[in-house]
């Protein structure tokens, strides 16, 4: 079976989705483990003065600390989003969509793993953040989610089809003839 056969293409896109998601998730987990073992919540380690420092933070909320009092709801939404991203990643037949969805899934799973691992009650875990941008603190999973979001918006704006119509599919569709054409 060659790369161009219809049966092969969807599997290739699923493989792209899975590989991107796995790499994104592994890089997120590695950086979070490094942050947990070498950073402190007490002080910042300056990387780019005034722009970026490293500081350990356990965030119960979402981006910018929003929703910190409803951690269980954020966790539940993350589970639903992960299921939707997984389904979309398997369904797409476009490599660009597969890459963006893989990044989003890897990022979502990275933060969801934290919420489950560090929970003391029902879905009340905290996400390990350590990249301090002075206006927000985040992690590598957040970067993947942001890049994926920008990529998905670009795909939509550029009208890149999620599942391109197969050649010949339009020819087999029933035609509706306009009565004015027959005259």
First to last CA, the chain: 49
Provide the strand spans (E) within the chain: 45-48, 52-59, 127-132, 137-138
CA distance 32 to 144: 14
Calpha distance 143→154 (Å, rounded):
17
Sign of CA pseudo-dihedral 40, 42, 46, 51:
positive
Catalytic status, residue 129: yes
Residues 62-81 as b or e (16 or more Cβ within 10 Å = b): bbeeeeeeebbebbeebeeb
Given 28, 94, 114, 129, the catalytic residue = 129
Q: Which residue of the set 28, 94, 114, 142 is catalytic?
A: 142
Burial pattern 14-46, b for ≥16 Cβ within 10 A else e, equals bebbbebbeebbebbbebbeebeeebeeeeeee
Annotated catalytic residues are 129, 142
């Amino acid at each position: 079976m060659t790369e161009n056969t219809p049966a092969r293409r969807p599997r290739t896109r699923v493989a792209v989705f899975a590989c991107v998601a796995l790499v994104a998730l592994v890089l997120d987990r590695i950086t979070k483990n490094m942050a947990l073992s070498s950073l402190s919540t007490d002080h910042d380690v300056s990387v780019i003065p005034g722009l970026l420092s490293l500081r350990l933070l356990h965030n119960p909320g979402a981006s910018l600390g929003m929703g910190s009092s409803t951690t269980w709801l954020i966790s539940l939404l993350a589970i639903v989003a992960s299921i939707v991203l997984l389904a979309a990643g398997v369904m797409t037949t476009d490599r660009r969509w597969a890459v963006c969805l893989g990044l989003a899934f890897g990022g979502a799973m990275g933060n969801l793993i934290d919420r489950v691992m560090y929970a003391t009650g029902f879905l009340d875990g905290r996400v390990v953040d350590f990249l301090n941008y002075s206006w927000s603190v985040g992690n590598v999973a957040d970067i993947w989610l942001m890049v994926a979001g920008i990529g998905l918006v670009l795909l939509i704006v550029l009208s890149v089809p999620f599942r391109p119509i197969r050649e010949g599919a339009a020819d087999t569709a029933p035609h509706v003839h306009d009565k004015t054409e027959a005259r």
